[in-house]
Amino acid sequence: MTLKAIPLLALVTALGAGCNGRSAENPTKAASAVRTHEHSTGSEHGFPDPQTYADRLDDPERDDWQVPEQVVEHLDCRPGMTVVDLGAGTGYFVGYLSEAVGQRGRVLALDTDRSMVDRMDERIEREGLRNVKPGIIDPGDPGLAPGSVDRVLIVNTWHHISDRVAYAEKLREALGPGGLLLIVDFTIQSPHGPPPQMRLTSETVRRELEAAGFETELMEESLPYQYLVAGRLP
């Protein structure tokens, strides 16, 4: 599995037009789009400075369309579980996940970008989230031991990944019995997200997870701009 060679997991929870990605179908075209996106600042990767980007991720208006409570409800977390927020960015979801697994549970908030993890550290300290552990991971590997986690949440991230079947296989190995992977990503019609040519349909995501050995389900539509695909162990 290869993520685009920029801190993409830090960028995966992007708001609206602030999100870019790599098209698995046309990597060259996608790389060009990253450079020429309407929010490009002329920097190497075409993204705003980290502080501006982080502020976008934490914009309170995001709650209206991201509907984080509903997303976490679909994870079906229980007290004592270990849940992974993969591509956690600034930690938008960690408070919700922390509450869902309780004091005996654990949240692993993982990203590839140090500035985002630093921002998460501040949030964890400020909100007293003692069961949340942030961490930096390699772009090509989630770094999870076999059978070590119960739930994996990936929001606005999957379209950034190439070799997604191979990456999904690593996630399947990391899940314990009864494990669940939940992928939340933008629909083709969404006003938020990367350019449409970089997006994936829910059917594509299901095929990729099934190729990696998951049983999949398209969850009942409850978000205005995103679909939810669940992957379960057979």
Q: What residues pair up with 3 in beta bridges, in sequence order?
A: 161
Lowest mean pLDDT among 28-32, 94-98, 133-137, 153-157: 28-32
| pLDDT of amino acid 116 | 86
Token pair 């997200």 is at which residue? Answer: 193
**pLDDT tens digits for 145-163?**
999 999 999 998 888 887 9
Q: Which residue has the higher pLDDT, 176 or 192?
A: 176
**Is pTM, for the whole model, over 0.75?**
yes
Domains, the chain, with CATH or none:
2-232 (3.40.50.150)
**pLDDT tens digits for 42-85?**
223 334 455 555 555 555 567 567 788 999 999 999 999 999 99
Q: Mean of the per-residue pLDDT values for the chain?
A: 79
The answer to whether 156 and 14 are in contact (CB under 8 A) is: yes
The answer to whether 148 and 174 are in contact (CB under 8 A) is: yes
| pLDDT of amino acid 17 | 34
> How far is 149 from 90, CA to CA, in rounded Å?
21
The answer to whether 99 and 130 are in contact (CB under 8 A) is: no
| pLDDT of amino acid 131 | 98
Amino acid present at 109: A
How many other C-beta atoms are found inside a 10 Å radius of the C-beta of residue 181?
26
Sort strands 161-162 and 2-3 into parallel, antiparallel or unpaired: antiparallel
Rg, Å, the chain Cα set: 16
Token pair 């162990």 is at which residue? Answer: 233
DSSP symbols for 77-128: --TT-EEEEET-TTTTTHHHHHHHH-TTSEEEEEES-HHHHHHHHHHHHHHT
Give the percent of the chain with pLDDT over 70. 72
